[in-house]
């Protein structure tokens, strides 16, 4: 009995000290400066810093830091080009030690907008979960993949919380195609993005490229 009790005490001790702590912060403008230490849940074994800049979704410039499951944490820079040559920048940075995501995330704001010789079908719809091809768009930078994506997002900290569906097609970088379809959000439930569809194919060469 004493041995069993000792094992239980040791398990409780190591469980408590092993709990990861991450910086938590979210903002739709400016930098994530008001950082609060956050105790991670058992399923959350990584700290995330995330930045998204897009003229869509109301010109959002989203910054947040949080605990996340490591399977949802794929570090890197991602770009997307969709309707009206709208360029979207996403930056993920992940780490796995206490408060390792406290520092400001380094973000290169100026996206290379020079066409790279590839193009993809394009469309964008807010409020629906599908959209039809509306033409093609020139890919930029390292975008060599065409994608078709859909899902929903909610900003539960906004004055009027709610969910909005979205769907769009366009160009993207190859690493975007490795992202899993899943629900990703902050532990405090402030921002939740649910990706329900993400399909990729090789981009095609533009007519000007083919004639060279």
State pLDDT tens for residues 17-65. 568 999 988 887 667 777 889 999 988 999 999 888 877 656 677 788 8
Q: Distance between the two ends of the chain, CA-based, in angstroms?
A: 82
The whole model's pTM is what? 0.73
pLDDT in tens, the chain (212 residues): 555 444 444 444 444 456 899 998 888 766 777 788 999 998 899 999 988 887 765 667 778 888 988 887 888 889 999 988 788 888 889 999 999 999 888 776 555 678 999 999 999 888 888 898 989 999 999 999 999 999 887 766 555 556 788 898 999 999 998 887 665 554 445 567 778 888 999 999 987 655 44
Beta strands in the chain (DSSP E): 21-27, 36-39, 46-53, 61-68, 76-82, 86-95, 115-121, 123-126, 136-140, 143-155, 163-173, 183-185, 191-202, 204-205
Domains of the chain and CATH, by start: 21-205 (2.10.60.10)
Q: Beta-carbon neighbour count of residue 39 at 10 Å?
A: 12
Average pLDDT, the chain: 79
């Amino acid at each position: 009995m004493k041995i069993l009790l000792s094992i239980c005490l040791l398990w409780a001790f190591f469980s408590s000290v092993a709990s990861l702590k991450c910086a938590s912060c979210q903002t739709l403008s400016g930098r994530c400066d008001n950082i609060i230490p956050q105790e991670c849940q058992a399923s959350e074994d990584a700290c995330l810093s995330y930045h998204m800049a897009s003229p869509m979704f109301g010109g959002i410039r989203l910054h947040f830091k949080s605990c996340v499951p490591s399977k949802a944490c794929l570090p890197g820079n991602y770009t997307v080009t969709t309707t009206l040559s709208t360029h979207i920048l996403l930056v993920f940075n992940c780490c796995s030690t206490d408060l390792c995501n406290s520092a400001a995330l380094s973000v290169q704001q100026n996206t290379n907008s020079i066409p790279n010789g590839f193009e993809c079908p394009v469309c964008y719809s807010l409020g629906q979960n599908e959209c039809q091809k509306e033409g093609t768009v020139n890919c930029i930078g390292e975008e060599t993949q065409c994608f078709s994506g859909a899902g929903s997002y909610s900003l539960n900290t906004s004055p009027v919380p709610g969910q909005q569906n979205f769907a769009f097609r366009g160009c993207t970088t190859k690493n975007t195609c490795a992202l899993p379809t899943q629900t990703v959000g902050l532990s405090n439930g402030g921002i939740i993005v649910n990706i329900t569809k993400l399909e990729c194919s090789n981009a095609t060469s533009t007519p000007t490229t083919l004639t060279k």
